[in-house]
A and B are shown apart, each in its own frame.
Chain A
Amino acid sequence: MKTPLFQPAAPTPTATVAEFVATFAVILGAIVGLLLFDTALARVDLTERKAYAAREFGLGERLTAQGRTEQGIEHLRTASTLDGDNSAYGVALAQAILADGRPGEAEQILLPLLERNETDGATTLAMARVLAKEGKLDEAKSYYHRAIYGLWPVGAEKNRTAARFELIDLLAHANARQELLAELLPIQADSTSDVAQRKKIARLFVVAGSPARAVLTFRELLRRDPRDADSYVGLAEAALSLGDFATARIDLLAAQKLMPEDSVSLRGRIALTDSVISLDPTQSGLSLPEQVRRSRNLVQMTLTSMRTCLGVQAPQVAAALDSASLLLVAGRAAGQAQSVEQNLSLAEQLWGLRRSRCAPEAQDGALTLVHNRITK
């Protein structure tokens, strides 16, 4: 038998120049043909994918608006996966996920979108909301600013203003007065025609600790429309903040006259103003004994507020309360003028301590206003 199955040698490779050229020509022809074919196919594919993504997006938005967030998220996710280039889908998905209470996941969706386009207004605004929800206020503020100065392909001005107001609300909520004022000033001039917006800004000036600016705005509005009860209420709030309780009462009464149907809430405010006026020991025209009485009353009320909020268990609080009681007793023996000063000083110290430990409470409204005035 022959030696089995030797592997056959491959034929020696040969090709003439003509075959070589012809092969190259065929390859180049194939490249051109395939390029055209692929491009056409890719275009068809892209168009269909985008159309499908748009349908999914619309459905997702509708479901989310109807409160069916989980189903909406599914469709928005499909849209975002199908058309990753459209950042609107990603932003909508992130917002829906945020609304579903999953800020961490929403952040993860927004990060690559921001990497692709860090100046996109809608994306930065969505990220600001996510960060605000996560309690990362400094980062949120930074993203709000990026949204305000970012690029908005449609409705830039409206979107920027909306973003600024969101930031303003955040700052007001966080009681960041200086920053709030800094945000309010640039838009004060921009909103001359929009009365509602001007009122909102004026009220925020009060929150930002600049009630004088609010007064100017409300007066201006009243010059234009003297029957605008809302402006009178705003003016009263500004006056209360300024410590001008009498003026506030007058403004509230004027508003009540113009808006009798809303008298319940106004009556409450008027009652508050009356409480403040009757409590305030620094009010002009009071006799010295009345000043002494009111100042003692103020200390007493502040102590009560402290007891409510802090409790007497803490040793340092107990010590402060003891010394306050002693001073009250001692004040009876001291000269009346000296007693007023001592009482006011004590009340201020106690109030300062209380503020450092406890959040303001609704029932302390009058006390807060009086103390604000004394501090000023």
Chain B
Amino acid sequence: MPAIRVSALPARLVRMVEDLRRKEDRLALLLSLVIGALVGLVVVAFILLTGRLTALMYPAGGSGWRRIAVPTIGSLVTGYLLFRYFPLARGSGIPQTRAALFIHDGRISIRSVVGKFVCCSISLATGIPLGREGPSVYIGSGLASVIARRLGLSRAQVRSLIPVGGAAALAAAFNTPIAAVLFSLEEIVGDLHAPVLGSVVLASAASWMVLHLVLGDNPLFHVPSYHLVSAAELGVYVVLGIVGGLTSVTFVKLLLWLRARFAKMPRASLWIQPVAGGLTVGILGYFAPQVLGVGYDQVERVLNGDVILKVVVVLAILKIIATSVAYASGNAGGIFGPSLFIGAMVGAAVGSVAHMAFPGSTAGPGAYALVGMGAAFAGIIRTPFTSVVMIFEVTRDYTIIVPLMISNLIAFYISQKLQKEPIYDALARQDGLHLPTRTSRTQGSVPLVSSASRDAPESLTPEMKISEAAERVKDNVLESWPVADELGLVGMVRTRHIVHAEEQGKLEMTIERLMQIARRSDGDKSVDLPHVHNDQPLSRALARMRENGHKVLPVVSRANARIMLGIVTYADILKAFGVESADDLDYKDHPDL
């Protein structure tokens, strides 16, 4: 960026800028508009470039072998780029965005943004069946983060702009400004009443306007207006909700299982792993070209009633396999679009059967495909409110809302029952990120661990002898001590165990051995890694103390549970609740303590 001297700027401009920087709310509004417009334009460029590249990769009348070769080579190229230059650009982008928000103070590097743009463009253009929406959210949030940091905003302001960029990106990528706002709040922030609501709405609107300015008023799908043919049809929508929910669970479980298998492969194979996805997609695409790419053309056809039962069933199954393998193997792209594709096919299949059985009292399969999209989205992404609004925005048809709500809710419920952890949380956990759950993000004003934590004492090491450890702990009142190696925290050891070992004369025994004995002899799980995070409520810390009997817990980073940020003690928690001494408590409720 060119250097500008302050003295070269007019004094009035300097005053204006200083004034603007002082008034955070005004700056937030201005930035929302600017970020919205910029992100909208970048996402439009992303969509258009991907489209042009796809046309180059798959010219009309191309041979079938191209469908195997292109995704395989594409995944090889992106695999290398992701491994060598852009490791954070793998996968969807939603967990990474949430990690940036909750762990890294809203920090997303420009390198990751560029990487996401380049790798996803190549990935999607070569026919990898992943979505563009998740990556767009990451790109949008990343741009917001970069801009905010370049402008020298505070960490809180940088964090607050993450959902703003995300919403702007989704509004442009999916042409659904309201759903974009809801998704940003429901999934990224995890709080529909977040104070950033105004900024998110502004950015989404600005982005959507830019999209319309460049691409015109075209909904993502042109869909006929569907309506409920008879009240009895609601029963079929219930069935669709059940089938949609079960399909969602199958998809999520398969994807996570495959991803866990890939994660166990040697790290050296990381760059070649995406080829497994590319080749699988290519082979499936050779027989069923509709599997390639995000597949919105096929979705539109199905939504317009172009449905052959056998075809939609096969496509739903193939897409589940192709997307799971492509994502799990580390290709760049999201699961937003594939969810809609799978939902549309499943809905069309259910609708076809229903229409064949009861032609007079059911709508055509297109209506069910539409509702199926919402059901799968609610089941896979687990944002039921967003999914209802999104389908409404996509179709601009109000009459389908009631069946949509019914199917969505059932799919959401089934998915919640059969797959406890939402997919983005599970993906983050597989990456070693401990993101706050939606419940923990909506705790409100309960006291948090951060309010009672203190600096950690110097840790013991696994190789330390009992004699040395006993010397260390003897003058300290702490009842448990952290044990850490060069990579970080490995567990906790009780002071009384050290003292007992010393009294037994086992002075040469190591702490590691002591921990092993404690684990084996009395099934003491407390020597594993009990921990809490700074943003968890104190009640959670108390519950965890009760679970493992420690009165001292390490406070660890969400990015890496082996990074200790401090400790929290039972006495400190009591003090935070206004209880001066543990003697003031009724021990009947806490016998372990």
Interface residues of A (CB under 8 A from B): 1-7, 10, 13-24, 26-28, 30-31, 34-35, 37-39, 41-42, 44-45, 48, 52, 77, 81, 84-85, 104-105, 108-109, 111-112, 115
Least Cβ–Cβ distance between B34 and chain A, in angstroms: 6
Q: What A residues does B485 contact at CB under 8 A?
A: 4
CB within 8 Å for A37 and B45 given contacts A4-B563, A14-B152, A20-B152: yes
**Main DSSP-derived SS at the A contact region:** helix
Contact A6 B304 (CB under 8 A): no
- In the docked arrangement, what's the CA distance between A162 and B562, Å? 80
A122 CB to nearest B CB, Å = 17
Of A5, A14, A34, A115, which contacts B41 at CB under 8 A?
A34
Q: For the complex, is B225 an interface residue (Cβ under 8 Å from A)?
A: yes
Does chain A have a CB within 8 A of B590?
A: no
Closest to B156 in A: A13
Smallest beta-carbon distance B531→chain A, Å: 13
**Assuming the A-B contacts A22-B4, A45-B48, are A13 and B149 also in contact, with contact meaning beta carbons closer than 8 angstroms in the complex?**
yes
Q: A17-B17, A23-B1, A104-B364 are in contact. Are A77 and B305 (CB under 8 A)?
A: no
- Contact in complex: A15, B152 (CB < 8 Å): yes
- CB neighbours (8 Å) of A105 from chain B are 305, 364
Q: Is the CB of B223 within 8 A of A19?
A: no
Residues of A within 8 A of B34 (CB): 24, 27-28, 31
B225 near A112: Cβ-Cβ < 8 Å: yes
Query: Is B67 an interface position by the 8 A CB rule?
Result: no
- The reply to whether A3 and B13 form a contact with Cβ atoms under 8 Å apart is no
Given A19-B151, A22-B2, A34-B38: 15 more A-B contacts, CB < 8 Å: A3-B459, A5-B560, A5-B562, A18-B8, A22-B4, A24-B151, A27-B34, A34-B41, A34-B45, A37-B45, A38-B214, A42-B48, A104-B364, A109-B224, A115-B225
Are B301 and A18 closer than 8 Å at their CB atoms? no
Some 25 contacts from A to B, beta carbons below 8 A apart, are A3-B456, A3-B482, A3-B484, A4-B485, A5-B560, A6-B564, A13-B158, A17-B18, A21-B4, A23-B150, A26-B1, A27-B34, A30-B38, A31-B34, A34-B42, A35-B214, A38-B45, A42-B214, A45-B52, A84-B222, A85-B218, A104-B364, A109-B305, A112-B224, A112-B225
Q: B35 — nearest CB in chain A belongs to which residue?
A: A27
Closest to A114 in B: B225
- Give the bracket for the number of chain B residues in contact with chain A: 35 or more
Interface pair B9/A17, CB less than 8 Å apart:
yes
Closest to B4 in A: A18
1/0 per residue B216-231: CB within 8 Å of A?
Answer: 1010001111100000
Query: Does B563 contact A7, Cβ atoms closer than 8 Å?
Result: yes
Contacts of A16 in B (CB 8 A): 6, 152
Residue of chain A at shortest CB distance from B366: A108
Residue of B nearest to A115 (CB): B225
Knowing A17-B18, A23-B151, the reply to whether A3 touches B297 (Cβ < 8 A) is no
Complex partner residue of B458 from A3, A22, A24, CB under 8 angstroms: A3
User: In the complex the two chains form, is B2's CB within 8 Å of A81's CB?
Assistant: no
The answer to whether B9 touches A18, judged by C-beta atoms less than 8 angstroms apart, is yes
Within 8 A of A (CB), among B1-54: 1-6, 8-9, 13-14, 17-18, 21, 34, 37-38, 41-42, 44-45, 48-49, 51-52
